[in-house]
Amino acid sequence: MGMTMTQKILAAHAGKQEVRAGQLILAEVDMVLGNDITAPVAVREFEKIGIDKVFDTAKVAIVPDHFTPNKDIKSAEQCKMIREFSKRQGIEHYFEIGEMGIEHALLPEKGLVAAGEVVIGADSHTCTYGALGAFSTGVGSTDMAAGMAVGKAWFKVPPAIKFTLTGKPSQWVSGKDIILHIIGMIGVDGALYSSMEFAGDGIAHLSMDDRFTMANMAIEAGAKNGIFPVDHKTISYLAEHADRSYTAYAPDDDAEYVREYVIDLASLRPTVSFPHLPDNTRTIDEVGDVPIDQVVIGSCTNGRIEDLRIAASILKGRKAAKGMRLIIFPATQKIWKQALQEGLLEIFVDAGAAVSTPTCGPCLGGHMGILAEGERAVATTNRNFVGRMGHPKSEVYLASPAVAAASALTGKITGPDALDHTIGRNQADES
């Protein structure tokens, strides 16, 4: 029996000819990642080990992005701790305010992850890098500490589920809609500790930003990781960002999958996840009348330049609904600057948006967009658990940048293809 992409990567990093689902292995890692919430715990555990230096100063990345710019004294102390640790250790990839970004957008942009690599990060959405054909997964802070110390990690080889994507998605269907559809189909535990492996001719129609979004949210289906094949788009991205060699793995023809799904992308509609789990999905045609108070566009899931362009194409020349709080977070400084140069930020501001420096703040209910009791938000983030963005009695609806931008204009959940009709009707009602 052959191996999947994930199994081949893990076998190579464990120095084995082959591995099988359920097997315990010790594998070398190519990158260890932490942020301002998880890295302080890892630093304390690292210091308990008694090792003076991290295993490789070029293979550790620390990115304070969750409560930064520092929201209070405690978050400032957390950042100071990891800043001083990074300086003592000589860690090359420490990124803070002014040069930073949201970690899972920043690392690919900086070329710190490539195809065929193994990445562990003390953040559940580390699975993002599967878009590049890497095995990447979230771990606890203790595992991060051990990874920094010895450059290795224990894994149980995951079984794989194959998702064959066919056809071409329609105009307003993006990677966010596809992964929400999948999560709604299989459930938040539908891929529990499994590798979600994407295949099929439909992948050719997905941009790298689409793929980053989909791999990012594999964890929302309970997966160990999500992974895409390496094609010409991946190769072009790596050529632009990662100046080093890499290995592109492909699954064997007789690789074993515990389940297989075929998804016709042409049949999908923009999809919204209702509170309070990502699998509580409805198409835009099934949403009904849901008024909202706030829209957040950004995060490690949908804060890339393509996301901002889509939002700007809808917001251009229009105004957010009266009383609507529209907050936009480009995912990195580079994306922020590119959006500035393309005139996107002016479009956002003219539409009534507040445009922020890169931060994870509102996504986890940290700062810069907290919800009060009874308030509702449409967000391009990745989780909508109870109290995720603020008060336990607030509600978060997950959607694509297109749906989020359209909703900001109408003050209720709206699909972009119905936008002109909806705005016209609302204006007529007001008159």
CATH 3.30.499.10 in the chain is located at 5-264, 272-430
Decide if pLDDT at 68 tops 90. Answer: no
- The pLDDT tens digits for 189-227 are 999 999 999 999 999 999 999 999 999 999 999 999 999
pLDDT band, very low/low/confident/very high, at 245 (cuts 50, 70, 90): very high
Task: Choose among 327, 271, 329, 270: nearest CA to 305.
Answer: 329
Percentage of the chain modeled with pLDDT above 70: 97
Decide if pLDDT at 148 tops 70. Answer: yes
pLDDT band, very low/low/confident/very high, at 97 (cuts 50, 70, 90): confident
Q: CATH top-level class for 272-430?
A: alpha beta
Q: What is the pTM of this model?
A: 0.92
Cα–Cα distance measured from residue 93 to residue 60, given in angstroms and rounded to the nearest whole number: 7
- The pLDDT tens digits for 338-357 are 999 999 999 999 999 999 99
Q: Which amino acid is at 366?
A: G
Architecture of the domain made up of 5-264: 2-Layer Sandwich (3.30)
- The pLDDT tens digits for 261-297 are 999 999 999 999 999 999 999 999 999 999 999 999 9
Average pLDDT of the chain, as a whole number: 94
Tell me the C-alpha to C-alpha distance, in Å, between residue 45 and each of 94, 389, 410.
19, 29, 49
DSSP label of 128: G
